Amino acid sequence: MEEDLNDVVRMALSESSDAESVAQDLARQLMHPHLGCVLFFCSAEYDLPALAAALEQYFGGVRLVGCTTAGEITPQGYGRGCVSAVGFDHRSFSIAAARIDALDSFSLLDAQQVVAQLAEECRGSSREPITGHSFALTLLDGLSSREELVLSALNAAFGRIPHFGGSAGDDNHLTRTHVYHDGRFHTGAAVVVLVHTALDFEVFTTHHIQPRDEKLVVTAADPASRTVFELNAEPAALEYARLLGLDPQQLDLKTFALHPLAVRLGGQYYMRSIQRVNPDLSLTFYCAVENGIVLTAMQPGPLLPNLQALFDGLEQRLGPLLLTIGCDCFLRRMEVEARGLVADTAGLLVRHRVIGFNTYGEQFNGMHINQTFTGVAIGRPGRGLCR
């Protein structure tokens, strides 16, 4: 069966630190006569110009799309300082990609043009209609603070095409993140990928975070920089620390992972994860925050049962999975590591053929969210039960 699956998708991992060796490793594992596209996720610690040149050399003529990460999800589970990749057979997948450079001014008209261009390219090599047989993946500069603007426009343009994605990372340095397209790594940019296939698939999102009773009102904020100066009319970091019974000096990424805040919309909670504490005791977030919104204090529930329930449902609807492309918030991975759940969680990801990366934010049907596991599951040929 594995050989048959490899006729449709091939997964690869390179743990080499040398750019040319990485390209050689991936080419050895992925290249075949019908390879149409490679999606990859890499550590930001690489010499990125050298890696770009090597990948173009060894995959000449094959479409390559990717981004830097805050950790990789590989065929062997969690990885760091490596490259994880998946190759798609053009006989089963028609894939088109476009780059957005001007994130600040991206409009609905721009989004409509991008989506029309992608759909036209995919339509040219398939007999199936685009709607109902396509999903989209977005990879964005994770430090651009423009996810909401771009996703809102794309969501309107995609219509009924489901879409998901992740914000690129840089190994938790929070300094410079990159997306890869057209032979180069780019900052301040996004890549939109349209995948057209006759295989059954489902775009999903899940999280295990549960609400507490406490509420925090944003009483002073700068939405453009995603910075909150006051919560409940008190310095934001002081009020958040008070809620947790901590000193502000104790606030760190582990605290943010285990004690997120969320906004409630339509009966659902959407995480607004904290990125950092600033010298003036303000808090900078990964997602949009505005004056007047009410944030609910949250706490993690059982992560593994939530993840297992997700995959159980996907397999009930799709049959055994061919591939799962996963965008997993880096704060979830920090929680997994802090709670000693790495081996069990990685085993679950391996069993369900997950390739992906740890993100600085996830995207789901136009929403920019945090602390979720979001992606697409694709059923095996001839095994899907429904679309």
pTM of the model: 0.91
pLDDT of residue 5: 63
Residue 114 confidence (pLDDT) above 70: yes
Residue 366 confidence (pLDDT) above 60: yes
Phi-psi domain of 151 (left: phi exceeds 0; alpha: psi -120 through 50; beta: other) = alpha
pLDDT of residue 137: 98
Percent of the chain whose pLDDT exceeds 90: 83
Other Cβ atoms closer than 10 A to 118? 25
Residue 9 confidence (pLDDT) above 80: yes
Over the stretch 140-172, which tens digit does the pLDDT of each residue have? Answer: 998 887 888 899 999 999 999 999 999 999 998
| Mean pLDDT along residues 106-113 | 96
pLDDT of residue 2: 45
Domains observed in the chain: 9-206+305-379 (no CATH), 209-300 (2.40.30)
Contact 380, 350 (CB under 8 A): no
Specify the residue for token string 């979830």: 332
Residue 374 confidence (pLDDT) above 60: yes
Over the stretch 50-102, which tens digit does the pLDDT of each residue have? Answer: 999 999 999 988 999 999 999 999 999 999 999 999 999 999 999 999 999 98
User: What distance in Å separates the CA atoms of residue 89 and residue 86, rounded to the nearest whole number?
Assistant: 10
pLDDT of residue 383: 55
Beta bridge partners of 216: 295
Tell me the average pLDDT of the chain: 93
Residue 173 confidence (pLDDT) above 90: no
Over the stretch 181-222, which tens digit does the pLDDT of each residue have? Answer: 999 999 999 999 999 999 999 999 999 999 999 999 999 999
Over the stretch 269-291, which tens digit does the pLDDT of each residue have? Answer: 988 889 999 999 999 999 889 99
What is the three-class DSSP state of 73?
strand
φ and ψ at residue 18, rounded to 5 degrees: -95, 130
| Mean pLDDT along residues 300-310 | 96
pLDDT of residue 268: 86
| Mean pLDDT along residues 16-28 | 97
Q: Would you place residue 224 in the very low, low, confident or very high pLDDT band (cuts 50, 70, 90)?
A: confident
Residue 304 confidence (pLDDT) above 60: yes
What's 18-46 look like in SS3? CHHHHHHHHHHHHCCCCEEEEEEEEECCC
> Parallel, antiparallel, or unpaired for β 283-285 and 274-277?
antiparallel
Residue 312 confidence (pLDDT) above 50: yes
Q: Would you place residue 386 in the very low, low, confident or very high pLDDT band (cuts 50, 70, 90)?
A: very low
Residue 129 confidence (pLDDT) above 90: no
Q: What is the DSSP-derived secondary structure letter of residue 354?
A: E
Q: Would you place residue 125 in the very low, low, confident or very high pLDDT band (cuts 50, 70, 90)?
A: low
Which ranges in the chain belong to alpha helices (H)? 2-6, 19-30, 48-58, 108-123, 147-158, 236-244, 253-258, 303-318, 330-338, 342-351
Contact 26, 66 (CB under 8 A): no
